[in-house]
Amino acid sequence: MAELYITIGRQFGSGGREIGKKVAQALEIPYYDKEILAVAAQESGLSHEFLKSYDEKPTNSFLYSLVMGQQRISPGMPGNTVEQLAANAQREAVLSVAAKGSCVIVGRCADYILRDKPGLVRVFVCAGHDARLQRVIHRDGVTEKEAEEKLRKMDKTRASYYSFHTDRKWGAAESYDLCVSSSLHGVDAAVRVILEFCKG
Amino acid sequence: MAELYITIGRQFGSGGREIGKKVAQALEIPYYDKEILAVAAQESGLSHEFLKSYDEKPTNSFLYSLVMGQQRISPGMPGNTVEQLAANAQREAVLSVAAKGSCVIVGRCADYILRDKPGLVRVFVCAGHDARLQRVIHRDGVTEKEAEEKLRKMDKTRASYYSFHTDRKWGAAESYDLCVSSSLHGVDAAVRVILEFCKG
């Protein structure tokens, strides 16, 4: 089989993590989500805790730059803020795990970082609002109100991080090769569709 | 088989029409694209030419309403402008063909019009910019410059029409159940993925 790099963007609470894991299991290839942080820590010398605190989060200086219309940091640019340091370490980790061969990578703008790699399949997972709400309530053990707030905040955060590090729009169909809802027919149907698409 | 209503939104030049036809053929169910106009003409008494001139086009009074922040015309509202008349006739035609059983409907906000129907699968087809450009150049026999202009104009028009008649965003992954690019693996792979997803 030719090398396959499946990147998975996802709405918060859509089950993207579970779907990514199942796709990786079916193809018998490595899966990276938060695992990217460990690789980034090991390779950059930055602490795992430091990287975790900036994981997919545009923090104040990011937002300040956005507001001020300052130039986007492309993933290839050397960093001069702590956020850039963290983002660059993650970028190097994404390149490093992809250099080892086929894999599934969730989030972290991996679709953009690997954009010139043959064998790249860019997936986005979404789901209906109620399905996401229920997933977050049960998974995270929070109230409905807290889950609503989490959904709103996390999607906004991910969208900002993505916009900042790429020239594409997070969650827009044209930014991906395949977008699938996990709520119409469930997680396993989404996995099946992704596997079917990856056959080429 | 339970009834299946597959609606296909599409970027201009993405091959959505061809994909919709192939999906309908594979499932042996009717396919409607511009065919909806004939049904609308027959049922509304409006002329085919009149309906064609407003087909998926937000015209001046639409845009005026948008600019003025006037209330969106929901597909159920009675029309009092020519554009509303045309849109309502198309809406009735969409409901009418869906009432006959399983079908594939391309465009015309059918995904929104049929939103409460069990068996609805909302698909969006997109493709890379270069692939769309080449398709339009060859299909429509135009220059590259003309094709560029057509892409820009048609997507904008479709997005405006969709925004005006629904409470959703055209081309956003979360507005659909499945979005697939026809350029990564081609039209037939997109057809396969849609058929796989429709199995549920």
Residue A130 tokens read as 């109620």
* Higher-scoring residue by pLDDT: B128, B79: B128
Phi first, then psi, for residue A61 (nearest 5°) are -70, -30
Question: How many C-beta atoms surround the C-beta of residue B136 within 10 A?
Answer: 22
Q: Which tens digit of pLDDT belongs to each residue from B130-170? A: 999 999 999 999 999 999 999 999 999 999 989 888 999 99
Inter-chain contact B173–A178, Cβ cutoff 8 Å? Answer: no
Residue A46 tokens read as 């930055």
Question: Which pTM value belongs to this model?
Answer: 0.91
Max Cα distance, chain B (Å): 47
Alpha carbon distance B163, B77 (integer Å) = 15
Q: Which tens digit of pLDDT belongs to each residue from A45-75? A: 999 988 988 888 775 555 555 555 544 444 4
Measured between beta carbons, the chain B residues lying within 8 angstroms of A126 are 173-174
Inter-chain contact A177–B178, Cβ cutoff 8 Å? Answer: no
Q: Which domains does chain A have, with CATH numbers?
A: 15-198 (3.40.50.300)
- The distance of B183 to chain A (nearest Cα, Å) reads 8
Question: How many C-beta atoms surround the C-beta of residue B164 within 10 A?
Answer: 18
**What integer pLDDT is reported at residue A66 of this predicted model?**
55
Residue B104 tokens read as 């594939």
B131: which residues sit within 8 A by CB, 6+ positions away?
B13, B14, B182, B183
**What integer pLDDT is reported at residue A72 of this predicted model?**
47
Instruction: Write the Ramachandran bin of B6: left for phi over 0, alpha for psi from -120 to 50, otherwise beta.
Output: beta
Question: How many C-beta atoms surround the C-beta of residue A25 within 10 A?
Answer: 12
- The distance of B170 to chain A (nearest Cα, Å) reads 9
Inter-chain contact A173–B121, Cβ cutoff 8 Å? Answer: no
Alpha carbon distance B62, B69 (integer Å) = 11
B→A interface, C-beta within 8 Å: 11, 121, 124, 126, 171-174, 176-181, 184-185, 189, 192-193, 196-197, 199-200
Measured between beta carbons, the chain A residues lying within 8 angstroms of B192 are 196, 199
Measured between beta carbons, the chain B residues lying within 8 angstroms of A189 are 197, 199-200
Work out the percent of chain B whose per-residue pLDDT is above 90. Answer: 72
**What integer pLDDT is reported at residue B63 of this predicted model?**
56
Which one of A121, A171, A196 has the shortest CB-CB distance to B174? A171
Q: Which of A107, A11, A10, A8 is nearest to A55 (CA)?
A: A107
For chain A, residues with pLDDT lower than 70 are: 1, 59-80
If pLDDT is split at 50, 70 and 90, which confidence band does B98 have? Answer: very high
Which residue of chain A is at minimal alpha-carbon distance from B173?
A: A173
**What integer pLDDT is reported at residue A200 of this predicted model?**
87
Mean pLDDT score of chain B, rounded to an integer? 89
Task: State mean pLDDT over B60-70.
Answer: 53
Model confidence at B70: pLDDT above 70: no
Alpha carbon distance B180, A173 (integer Å) = 8
Sheet holding B120-126, edge to edge: A31-32, A103-106, A5-10, A120-126, A178-181, B178-181, B120-126, B5-10, B103-106, B31-32
**What integer pLDDT is reported at residue B81 of this predicted model?**
78
Alpha carbon distance A143, A191 (integer Å) = 29
A193: which residues sit within 8 A by CB, 6+ positions away?
A178, A180, B178, B193, B196, B197
- Radius of gyration in angstroms for the set of CA atoms belonging to chain A, rounded to a whole number: 16
- The distance of A176 to chain B (nearest Cα, Å) reads 8
**What integer pLDDT is reported at residue A53 of this predicted model?**
87
Alpha carbon distance A7, A4 (integer Å) = 10
A→B interface, C-beta within 8 Å: 11, 121, 124, 126, 171-174, 176-181, 184-185, 189, 192-193, 196-197, 199-200
If pLDDT is split at 50, 70 and 90, which confidence band does B184 have? Answer: very high
